[in-house]
Amino acid sequence: MARRLPPLNALRAFEAAARLGSFSAAAQELRVTDSAVSQQVRSLERYLGTRLFKRLPRGLLLTELGSTYLPVLTAGFDRLAEATLRLRSGGVAGLLTVAALPAFASGWLLPRIGRFRERYPRVDLLLKTARALADFRREDVDVAIRFGAGATADTKSILLLPEDVFPVASPSLVSTSPIPMQVADLRSLPLLHDVDAHPDQPWLSWQAWFERAGVESPTALRGLQFTDSIVLVDAAVAGLGVALGRGPNIEGLLARGQLMRLTHDSWRAAWSYRLVAPPVNFSRPNVRAFVDWIVAEARGNPPHTRALPVE
């Protein structure tokens, strides 16, 4: 006997609206308009010949039949998602070695890597962190995430993320200061310095920031100095001074309120984060899977930033 099922889009709309409690929240999850969700739910109600929601001035309330229908649908969608995941990851397995800068791996990649593991459970990921460039001829590395201007002659490069740099500090350090600040105002605060930045990275230099803003910098740019950007950021979180925050690496700290942005000014770095490997490596199934996944993460999940108050 042929199965008679309601339209899938109508089922998805109802399940999301019932689970999240509103048409607006369901529309955001499904990336459609509120009216589209409402229309799909009404279509499902007509198909079933019964109401699934009581539409109240302050929101939605499931009817008795709707409450009975919801857990069955949610369980069905969960099983369908699991089966799809197994099929999509079926040909991707084995060891995948990814080289990355420690600060980027810690600040941007690790908070997301669980989603890669969920999608490709048969891939064993080895994350090698080092500041030195991975040598594909001497090291067993499948793909590297580098911060630079581009690829070398013997490698292929795919753009992953730009980097915006801006002053950040612990909220405790600037609790009595008006926010947003001007670059010139930062001269009165303790500054944290990255003394190991590449000479071609002026966006990580306080001296260059003051020159770019057209303000006179302190005669001696004194303060704590660091050769490791992770420790520098830890110092900022501890309230020891103002750091030049590198957007992708600190987005989690901004979202959690451990750091806050101090100025509207930012400096788009001339370099970017790129996926780099010998061209032949990109043909490997697990490398292709990782590249597709991380590019989608970079383009589909904008960085979290704590918005500054409007002047």
Ordered by where they begin, the domains of the chain are 8-88 (1.10.10.10), 94-161+271-300 (3.40.190.10), 163-269 (3.40.190.10)
Q: Where are the alpha helices (DSSP H) in the chain?
A: 8-20, 23-30, 34-48, 64-88, 102-104, 110-119, 206-213, 229-237, 247-255, 285-300
Can you tell me the mean pLDDT for 87-103?
82
Predicted TM-score (pTM) of the model is: 0.67
Q: How far is CA 127 from CA 28, 132, 154, 246, 282, in A?
A: 33, 14, 22, 21, 17
CB atoms inside a 10 Å sphere around CB 48: 15
247 has pLDDT over 70 = yes
Q: Are 51 and 63 in contact (CB under 8 A)?
A: yes
Q: pLDDT tens across 40-83, in order?
A: 999 999 999 999 998 888 778 899 999 999 999 988 888 887 66
Q: pLDDT tens across 111-167, in order?
A: 999 999 999 998 999 999 998 888 888 888 999 999 987 667 778 999 999 999 999
248 has pLDDT over 90 = yes
**Cα–Cα distance measured from residue 12 to residue 19, given in angstroms and rounded to the nearest whole number:** 10
Q: Are 224 and 194 in contact (CB under 8 A)?
A: no
For residues 222 and 24, the model is more confident at 24
Q: pLDDT tens across 158-198, in order?
A: 999 999 999 999 999 999 999 999 999 999 999 999 998 88
